[in-house]
């Protein structure tokens, strides 16, 4: 058990819809990361938050947004969903966000767009 | 930009065989290097890490040495078990890359161990 909790485990929805994925980091970790895992793109970094502030952005679409709340949990919002958004979305956390610190991953949310 | 290249899979071995999964990287600065393992239906688990040149990371019989001169971080295990069957990812994190601590992953190598 990594200590990172993601909900829900599975989401099935239709094109054009909006969903919210939730992540609770390990106790004490200030930095949260979101990644997308798909068969064609592999594991891609989406966005990082540190102590409530956005730290870095990767290949995140404009239809996607995220935030980190004062209690340090994070949410990833995906809107105007397309078939190509079907993927496994992982949240990870680390203590302070330094590059030499490992990131600890949740079990992911599997998003299926019908 | 930074990148990680892993040996193509899938890899199939017999139990007790020697394992090597090759990983090479390109980085702007002096990255930290990681191996993660993903079992079916689960998230990624940190297997081992190395944060500077010549460091050796080790865990559960797996080892990898940070080789700056060859920009490599190959994963090895002397005697694999059926329970080692999983997908293995090599990754780097490099603050010189626009100050981000994001992980850049290789494409993953699927390992199957037969009894």
Q: pLDDT digits over A1-49, tens only?
A: 889 999 999 999 999 999 999 999 999 999 999 999 998 889 999 999 9
Q: What is the pLDDT averaged over residues B40-60?
A: 94
Between positions 30 and 89 of A, the ones with CB within 8 A of B are 31, 33, 35, 42-43, 45, 48, 55-56, 58
Query: With contacts defined as CB-CB under 8 Å, which chain B residues touch A98?
Result: 95, 101
How many angstroms from the chain centroid is the CA of residue B58?
11
Give the residue from B36, B47, B90, B101 with the most A CB atoms within 10 Å of its CB, the best one to mutate.
B101
Instruction: Give the pLDDT confidence score for residue B97 in this predicted structure.
Output: 61
What is the three-class DSSP state of A15? Answer: coil
Distance from CA of A83 to the nearest CA of B (A): 21
In angstroms, the CA B26 to CA A39 distance is 23
Residue B100 confidence class, pLDDT cut points 50, 70, 90: low
Q: pLDDT digits over A38-90, tens only?
A: 988 899 999 999 999 999 899 899 999 999 999 999 999 999 999 999 999 99
The residue ranges of DSSP E strands in A1-114, in sequence order, are 5-7, 10-13, 19-24, 31-38, 42-50, 53-57, 64-68, 74-78, 87-94, 104-105, 109-113
């Amino acid at each position: 058990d990594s200590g990172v909790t993601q909900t829900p485990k599975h989401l099935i929805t239709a094109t054009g819809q909006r969903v919210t994925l939730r992540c609770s980091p390990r106790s004490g970790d200030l930095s949260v990361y979101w990644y997308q895992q798909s068969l064609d793109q592999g594991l891609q970094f989406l966005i990082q938050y540190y102590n409530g502030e956005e730290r870095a952005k990767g290949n995140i679409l404009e239809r996607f947004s995220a935030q980190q709340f004062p209690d340090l949990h994070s949410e990833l919002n995906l809107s105007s969903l397309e078939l190509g958004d079907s993927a496994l979305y992982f949240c990870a956390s680390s203590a302070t966000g330094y590059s030499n610190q490992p990131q600890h991953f949740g079990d992911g949310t599997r998003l299926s767009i019908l | 930009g930074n990148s990680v290249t892993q040996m193509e899979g899938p890899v199939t071995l017999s139990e007790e065989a020697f394992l090597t999964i090759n990983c090479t990287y390109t980085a702007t600065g002096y990255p930290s290097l990681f191996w993660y393992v993903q079992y079916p239906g689960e998230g990624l688990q940190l297997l081992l890490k190395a944060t500077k040149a010549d460091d050796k990371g080790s865990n559960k019989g797996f080892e990898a040495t940070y080789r700056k001169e060859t920009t490599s971080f190959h994963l090895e295990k002397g005697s694999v078990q059926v329970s080692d069957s999983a997908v293995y990812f090599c990754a780097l994190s490099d603050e010189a890359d626009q100050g981000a601590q994001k992980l850049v992953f290789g494409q993953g190598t699927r390992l199957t161990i037969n009894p």
